[in-house]
Chains A and B, each alone.
Chain A
Amino acid sequence: MYFLQIALMVAACCLSNVKTQTTHTNNWAVLVDTSRFWFNYRHVANVLSIYRSVKRLGIPDSQIILMVADDMACNPRNPRPATVFNNANQHINVYGDDVEVDYRGYEVTVENFVRLLTGRLPPGTPRSKQLLTDEGSNVLVYLTGHGGDGFLKFQDSEEITSQELADALEQMWEKRRYHEIFFMIDTCQAASMYEKFYSPNILAVASSLVGEDSLSHHVDPAIGVYIIDRYTYFALDFLEKVEPDSKQSMGEFLKVCPKQVCISTVGVRKDLFPRDPYKTPITDFFGALRPMEFTWAGLNLTEKNAKESALDRRIEKTTKSKMQYVQQFPTELFDDAKSFKL
């Protein structure tokens, strides 16, 4: 057992250039594609576009919960296996080479989504499927799929209503599971999903207003279906120009798809969000830059945990005895006299 006295010398670094006061300590992202079937390729491209951006801007995979309801990359109909593109000219492979999908296929259900947000998961759920946020977490929630006035469809078989979503976010707030939420949704009548929100510190943006359709960008003849939706296409276009040290603000991001290119009207809800979006850096939600706190306190790194479970001891005892390889095929079954006669 030894002590490691870590004395952290704080470099005189950039104490002065902090412009906007932010108090979050970590960043998380929940990115959900709720659509199954090949003709919804564009929704997978949407969600992977945002995934690519947040990962590029520094949120680690362990803090991104990616839910993809169907497999497009390795779908037999995909002429370019293991890719999902944002553009018919194959500008960006948004699927990438090191993607980690946390919930996929049949796992993408309303129940799992609400359980994830509220943290009420069954025992044994691995860490990669948990939203381990706390009161210092800034959470980006992105949803895409097919929606209507007040609901979003999951897998073409069930829906989450706007009220249910609002209640889930309220439960998160009550359980101190977030500091601020940036809620993005790209569906038809998307604005209806944030209308019922009543919890504080939520900034919301939707690709279309109630009564409006949200439109796709263009068709890729090689795959035979629409490749990406308009709103996310332009959002990705904007995010591609953002770097971890960029100065763009959330205010600029909210205007990313004006009506003449989006065709639908982008809806924004700011009343729950106390800060001015123009003074909120975009990296507060899309990156993982955060304030750090240094301490002079000692840290005790013990070498060994002396506790051993009874099971370990028992196993140790059994490994002492002689081991052996066993026969892979039960030949003894065929030894008896009543075997089959030719």
Chain B
Amino acid sequence: MMAAKTTARAMGLSTFLKSLFSLYLFLTLFSKSSVECFNLDDQFEEELLIKPLNNDFVYAYFQFTTTWDVPFEAKSFQNCHLFPRVLGEVLGQYSVQELHLSLTQGLWRHEKYGYPVVDAPAGTEIWAWFKEGTKDVNKSWKMLTSALSGLFCASLNFVEPHNTLSPTLSFAPTGAVPPGVHSNSSLLRYSTLPREVVCTENLTPWKKLLPCDSKRGLATLLNAGHIYNTNYHSLGIHVRPICKDISCESTAVELKQTVSLVYDMLQVGSLSRDWSFRKLFGQGLSGPCPLASSSRVYVDTTQNGSIFEFQLRPEPKAVLKSIRGGATSKIAMYDLKTMHLVSLLNIAATYTGEKLEHVNISPVLYANRYIIGYGQENGGIVTKVINNHWQPLDIVYMENIPWFLPVYLHTFQAEVNGRQLVPHAINFVPGRERERPYQLEVALRIPARSTTTLSITFDYIFLKWQEYPPDANHGFYVGAAVITSSLPVARNYTGVPHDGSTLLTRSVLIHCLRQIFLNQDKSFENSIIRFCRND
């Protein structure tokens, strides 16, 4: 064995690397026959949906879907093609069944915007199902969140047992699971970090998971300067196993990366409601990601001609009709794979008609939340759930209260027009100081056309001096309450016509919607202990 010891400095390095690279190429080609081929049963789809909302808002939703025909387990991720190996390894290592992570800033105002494709509360929300037979779910959860904190540059390592829940009525697995798993909530972990900020440092690693990074395709539109001046922005990662076929004897892995943006057009640039790629994203689109099997831009034109009128340029090649739950939506489609772009594609909408009065058709179900009480001893949280439907609606309301706000179950009230509602089920896990949060889940049937007031009171307790954050003057944040419901009509519902999943999953999504409402983050100051609205 002979070792040649040399020193390569700047000048010779590139020549050397070049020769090394050609050597590598040669070796790769030469040895191709003996190496087991990559499993190429994977595909990548990119979609952008633009939906002009009422009141001069524009909703842009990006969805990048990678599906891969392999079982969801550690072994599969040793050879990756389109699927990001770095994420796959983490999921395989900690025997994750399903993972949902969102990094959000701003408040999704359901009353104004309708329902988003993917709902997310402000800050960070993470929930994961672990596989059956996981030895120590708590440890896997801790390791998973630590690993993800490194992967996404987020403070997910602050997810601890004292802010983790295992809901039993909400957050059923969205993917294909072995029979019986969904009733075992000991495999589910849910946590929120409502104070977490989101900025370019989260977007950078998020983009690196895409097959084309941000070099080609729709991801080139994701420019930090144009994302972070929006009223609402949310990054999401959703991984789940999906059925390969109707029989569902084997599964494939699906990774969905999403970005939701809400622009206030009057703030973004000129004083008109006109929007274009250049105005929204700062640049036009050069073409699809070459690795994508489909690359499409959708513009929701359902309200075009009724509430407002706009002209799309270039003209869409096709207009799709999508019928969900009794509501029809018209969607203009641009297929980037078949378009021959000579210059940058800049889809623009010019509003033509008179600016009509703002007509706001509220969604069927939405909620508001605020803090009540004064003084330094106790207070309460009130959530108002508004049902606009002509029939009663069944909801599951989940509250996630940190340990430093001990709530009293006997003070829980669900009131409609002075009458008390009797919950169908209550699941309450009392918190323990510094160990676990208070978890309250209530199943309720709320009457037609009503406003239901849900309230619960709590105490303020003393913290140790080191438990205050360095900016305690800013207050403490309480995570979002989550309301789950199965809606009878799809009014105000937003969806991509073809969402890159199998048919089976879509049929589930049509009938079931989950809404997560984060209303104002509540905060209290430690010097003068009081609550203030902070939104």
Q: Chain A residues in contact with chain B, CB under 8 A?
A: 2, 4, 6, 8-11, 13-15, 17-18, 36-37, 71, 73-74, 80-83, 95-102, 104-107, 124-129, 155-157, 244-245, 289, 291-297, 303, 308, 311-312, 314-316, 318-331, 333-334, 336, 338-340, 342
Contacts and interface: CB of A to CB of B under 8 A. Distances in A.
Nearest to A330: B169
B174 interface: yes
A294 B2 CA distance: 10
Nearest to A156: B470
B149 A74 contact: no
Contact of A98 (B95, B175, B204): B204
B182 to A, nearest CB: 4
B400 interface: no
Nearest to B24: A6
Interface string B1-26: 11111111111110110011001000
Given A74-B228, A296-B3, A333-B169, 19 more contacts: A8-B23, A74-B105, A97-B224, A99-B200, A100-B201, A100-B205, A105-B197, A245-B10, A289-B13, A312-B74, A323-B251, A324-B176, A324-B178, A325-B243, A328-B514, A329-B486, A331-B394, A340-B422, A340-B447
Contacts of A303: 35-36
Residue picked from B74, B251, B514, most chain A C-beta under 10 Å: B74
Contact of A14 (B11, B178, B425, B444): B11
Interface in B69-91: 71-75
A111 B149 CA distance: 18
A325 B8 contact: no
Contact of A342 (B12, B13, B392, B505): B392
B527 interface: no
A2 B132 CA distance: 36
A292 B6 contact: yes
A37 B473 CA distance: 11
Contacts of A125: 146, 150, 157
Interface in B462-496: 469-471, 484-486
Interface of B: 1-13, 15-16, 19-20, 23, 27, 31, 34-36, 71-75, 95, 105, 131-135, 142-143, 146-147, 149-151, 153, 155, 157-158, 169, 172-179, 181-182, 196-201, 204-205, 223-225, 227-229, 241, 243, 247-251, 392, 394, 396, 421-422, 424-425, 443-445, 447-448, 469-471, 484-486, 504-505, 508, 512, 514
B4 A295 contact: yes
Residue picked from A17, A106, A329, A338, most chain B C-beta under 10 Å: A329
Contact of B149 (A126, A294, A314): A126
Contact of A74 (B72, B157, B198): B198
A3 to B, nearest CB: 10
Contact of A4 (B31, B157, B204): B31
9 contacts: A11-B19, A14-B9, A105-B196, A128-B151, A303-B36, A321-B178, A323-B243, A328-B512, A329-B396
Contacts of B151: 126, 128
Contacts of A297: 1, 3
B290 to A, nearest CB: 21
B532 to A, nearest CB: 16
Nearest to B27: A4
Contact of A73 (B20, B200, B508): B200
A318 B11 contact: no
Contacts of A333: 169, 394, 396, 424-425, 443
Contacts of B227: 82
A124 B146 contact: yes
B182 A326 contact: yes
B15 A107 contact: no
B16 A328 contact: no
